[in-house]
Structure 1
Amino acid sequence: MTKKQRLFGEELLSKSKKERESFFNDFTVSHTKMKQVSDELKNEIYKGSQNIIMVVGPSGVGKSRLFTATVLSVLRDMKEETEKDRSIIPISGIELPNPDLGKFNWKDFYYRVLSSLRDPLIDYKIDVTDIEKKNRKGKKSNKKNPLNANTAPELRRSIESAFFNRKTKALLIDEAQHFFKINSEKRGSSEQNQRQFNSIKSLANMSTTKIVLFGTYDLNAVFNLDGQLSRRVKEIHFPRYDYTNANDRKSFQALLLTFQKLLPVEKEPDLRKYSEYIYENSIGCAGILKNWLQRCLSDALEKEEMTITYQNLKRNALQTKKLLTLANEAITGEYYFSDNKKDKKELQTLLGIKKEKDNEKPKRKNNPKPGIRKPERDTVGLA
């Protein structure tokens, strides 16, 4: 294959190691799985009936890339509207931090959302009810620190107002499973999860803005524990590639071809030659594969190697124990999205439904013509 067929200009090969790495790292590949999930997600944002959308998949599948790609895609779609009205922010997003001490901080969450909406006066939100109480008692308000523990309701109202005035269609939240990482004595509590979810749903309802939760299968497990939660959410599964599936295997090969044409090394590597090995060491996750190839590229450039070799791939692969952990988590999570006969049968049993063929008893095979013997061998010889 010639350099002309590759997905970058030849001049990139003469640039610095940092520039070549940045080109590959920053490039988002819209592969089959991502495109399918992206199309479904955008359709839900624009036309869906549910205010809460949940995008779940295994670690390393590419959810964070999808997060960024969705923001950019909606901004492109709304370019004409935003040029006419500069006040519009059609979509926004934040990454949710892991809660300190197992306690979710709503005030910090509201603050981050307002920051993403470029609110100019976040540090000056004041709880008006608190000021009124102090005025009645003749006390002075704390002007030095207007943002205190009592201002969370005011921040919440500011978000609702900002969403409305900015005409924001969706708020994207990455690492959303952190919403439900609460104190150990409450973890797994359906009641506590319900309260957390109700706060999220209330924000979506009051602001008429859809909230998209990106997370691991841990997020899906929380919602499946409670029927009240699961029925109010639109679930979108972002799966890995399944090598036992012919279509997935073909799509994975195409993904490898795209990556090998993007790698800015002197000689284009032949990743498809090692497709089974690469699948095994990426468990079919595009994100894990991309990170692996980033390490390989950095290694090759550092050693001034001409291309990505099998030895290079092997040096930079994840440890087998880590891959086993990732694979087990992925396969366990995928179970929630699989419909099987056992689950259907259990559902029918719970509902008291039985199909007609299940009630039918096997019919006895009678002689079709009475009086005529069936063909059989008679006993011969002396009794």
Structure 2
Amino acid sequence: MMERLFPEELLNSTPAEKSNYFKMLTVSHPAFEEAYNDLLDRIYRGTENSIILVYGPTGAGKSTLIKKVKEKIIKDNLSVLDKDKGLIPYLAVESVPPDSGSFDWKDFYYRALIEANEQLIDYKILLENKNMDKKVKDENRSALRRSLENVLIYRKPKAFIIDEAQHITMTISGRNLRNQVNILKSLGNITKVPIILTGTYDLLAYRDLNGQTIRRGTDIELRRYQANNQSDIESFINVLLAFQKHLPLELEPNLIDYWDYFYSRTIGCVGILKDWLYLTLQSSLRANPLTKTLELTDFKRYELSSERCMKLLTEASYGESKLKVSDAADLELYQKLGLVQIEQENEVTVDENVKKRNKSNKKGRPVGQRKPKRDQVGNTMADAQ
């Protein structure tokens, strides 16, 4: 068996210190590492006005992913930030769902300026283009929008991160949704700062709305581990074992012998698993500071019900299904591009279509095959002329 992975001195710590250690713990795993490396690569090496979508099921660990990316950006830019105190490594804000109707952009701009520690937000003014000498007190969102643009331009964050961004897609009409997309697209164009939208699979509605967002947008999925994939199951068990080794208790609990139970109550989402283990540890230590280990019955007290897990699974499966590209979709693309012809409503593959075109040649010969004839040999230069 592996050694325990937490600092040994924690065994003599207070229940609060033990709980906080586990709360702050991050366990690396393949799905997380893939998304983490991909996101950093898009931030540093993507186009300046790109829009990056980071999505996945509830509880997959998106918040932890963004937290680690923020830490990495700060670490990578410490020397630059030390030289210019006016710069910020990133700007991050959480979008709030609208009380009614469409997304409230004025409130969004206001919250973003607060996160940037902008001064005198309530007194922002807008210079009118027609009369640059006239300063007008602007109470609508235009002044706040302009201020946010200036923050992104002059304070040069590496990324503008919008968490729970699926709330931006909440609108009462398709036309308004296209307008939401255009607002973000314009913000990226003007500021040249990559915009990262994190949220659930509802963000796919934003991605597929028009050609501009498809061209400029890039996708990163922080996925759950699926039971029909042996590699995924092995990864999930390894994550569970790592958490087991990090639980700061005198006796190591036995979790991996019941991995299927833990999988069923988390639907393969590491974020849900971590929260569940933390809640069980914290509550058990609070009830009994001398707790030496945890039993399966302790975890059952705080498990998600089967009904709630079914709802989570339904939502996750629906989002995952929207990412799958079917053979029919591939065929439809080829058809609309004119690469495949449909005859009498029969589906024809690309290879079959090529064969049919070859057979339809005038003399029944495949394309590129010459008519049989005797070739001349020994031509002189004069004959060739």
Q: TM-score range by the shorter chain?
A: 0.7 to 0.9
Aligned to 2:359: none
Give the alignment of 1:272-287 within 5 angstroms. 272-287=256-271
2:326 to 340, 361, 364: 340
Quote the Cα distance in structure 2 between the aligned partners of 1:312 and 1:276.
Answer: 17
Aligned to 1:13: 11
Quote the Cα distance in structure 2 between the aligned partners of 1:260 and 1:316.
Answer: 17
Alpha-carbon shift at residue 360 of structure 1 (Å): 5.2
Q: TM-score, normalised by structure 1?
A: 0.83
Task: Establish whether residue 355 from structure 1 lines up as the match of residue 356 from structure 2.
Answer: no
Q: Deviations over 1:167-211 (max 9, x none)?
A: 21201111001111123xx2xx1x211110111111111111111
Aligned to 2:198: 214
Q: Deviations over 1:324-382 (max 9, x none)?
A: 01101111111122233233233334444241236758xxxxxxxxxxxxxxxxxxxxx
Which segment is superposed worse, 238-247 or 192-201?
238-247
Quote the Cα distance in structure 2 between the aligned partners of 1:283 and 1:168.
Answer: 36
Quote the Cα distance in structure 2 between the aligned partners of 1:118 and 1:29.
Answer: 32
2:245 to 258, 261, 274: 261
Give the secondary-structure state (helix, strand or coil) at the position aligned to 2:334.
Answer: helix
2:315 to 326, 329, 337: 329
Give the alignment of 1:221-300 within 5 angstroms. 221-300=205-284
Which segment is superposed worse, 50-59 or 207-216?
50-59
Quote the Cα distance in structure 1 between the aligned partners of 2:180 and 2:44.
Answer: 25
Quote the Cα distance in structure 2 between the aligned partners of 1:129 and 1:360.
Answer: 66
The total of aligned residue pairs comes to 344
Give the secondary-structure state (helix, strand or coil) at the position aligned to 2:63.
Answer: helix
Aligned to 2:361: none
Quote the Cα distance in structure 2 between the aligned partners of 1:14 and 1:342.
Answer: 62
- Identical positions, percent: 39
Task: Establish whether residue 310 from structure 1 lines up as the match of residue 296 from structure 2.
Answer: yes
Quote the Cα distance in structure 2 between the aligned partners of 1:70 and 1:323.
Answer: 29
Give the secondary-structure state (helix, strand or coil) at the position aligned to 2:216.
Answer: coil
**Conservation of the 8 A alpha-carbon contact between 1:300 and 1:307:** no
**Conservation of the 8 A alpha-carbon contact between 2:181 and 2:206:** no
Which segment is superposed worse, 279-288 or 153-162?
153-162
Say if 1:343 and 1:287 are closer, same or farther in 2 by CA, change over 3 A.
same
Give the alignment of 1:139-150 within 5 angstroms. 149-150=139-140
Q: Deviations over 1:233-272 (max 9, x none)?
A: 1111111112222221221122112211221222122221
Give the secondary-structure state (helix, strand or coil) at the position aligned to 1:316.
Answer: coil
Give the secondary-structure state (helix, strand or coil) at the position aligned to 2:54.
Answer: strand
Aligned to 1:110: 109
**Conservation of the 8 A alpha-carbon contact between 1:104 and 1:179:** yes
Aligned to 1:123: 122
Alpha-carbon shift at residue 292 of structure 1 (Å): 1.0
Alpha-carbon shift at residue 303 of structure 1 (Å): 4.3
**Conservation of the 8 A alpha-carbon contact between 1:242 and 1:284:** yes
Quote the Cα distance in structure 1 between the aligned partners of 2:116 and 2:4.
Answer: 39
Aligned to 1:63: 62
RMSD value, Cα: 2.5
Alpha-carbon shift at residue 58 of structure 1 (Å): 0.6
Alpha-carbon shift at residue 283 of structure 1 (Å): 0.5
Which structure 1 segments of 5+ residues have no match?
Answer: 362-383
1:45 to 43, 49, 53: 43
**Conservation of the 8 A alpha-carbon contact between 2:54 and 2:197:** yes
Give the secondary-structure state (helix, strand or coil) at the position aligned to 1:212.
Answer: strand
Say if 1:358 and 1:283 are closer, same or farther in 2 by CA, change over 3 A.
farther
Alpha-carbon shift at residue 55 of structure 1 (Å): 0.5
Task: Establish whether residue 27 from structure 1 lines up as the match of residue 25 from structure 2.
Answer: yes
Aligned to 2:166: 177
Quote the Cα distance in structure 1 between the aligned partners of 2:204 and 2:303.
Answer: 29
Quote the Cα distance in structure 1 between the aligned partners of 2:269 and 2:156.
Answer: 35
Aligned to 1:82: 81
Q: Deviations over 1:281-337 (max 9, x none)?
A: 110101111111122112332443422221122222101111001101111111122
Alpha-carbon shift at residue 225 of structure 1 (Å): 4.6
Aligned to 1:202: 186
Say if 1:102 and 1:13 are closer, same or farther in 2 by CA, change over 3 A.
farther
Quote the Cα distance in structure 2 between the aligned partners of 1:129 and 1:206.
Answer: 18
Aligned to 2:346: none
Quote the Cα distance in structure 2 between the aligned partners of 1:345 and 1:314.
Answer: 48
Say if 1:358 and 1:307 are closer, same or farther in 2 by CA, change over 3 A.
farther
2:144 to 148, 152, 155: 155
**Conservation of the 8 A alpha-carbon contact between 2:51 and 2:194:** yes
Aligned to 1:91: 90
Alpha-carbon shift at residue 68 of structure 1 (Å): 1.3
Q: Letter of the 1:180 partner, please give it.
A: T
Alpha-carbon shift at residue 221 of structure 1 (Å): 3.0
**Conservation of the 8 A alpha-carbon contact between 2:32 and 2:65:** yes
Q: Letter of the 1:161 partner, please give it.
A: N
Q: Deviations over 1:42-92 (max 9, x none)?
A: 100011125111001011101111121111111111112112222221212
Say if 1:29 and 1:127 are closer, same or farther in 2 by CA, change over 3 A.
same
Give the secondary-structure state (helix, strand or coil) at the position aligned to 2:100.
Answer: helix
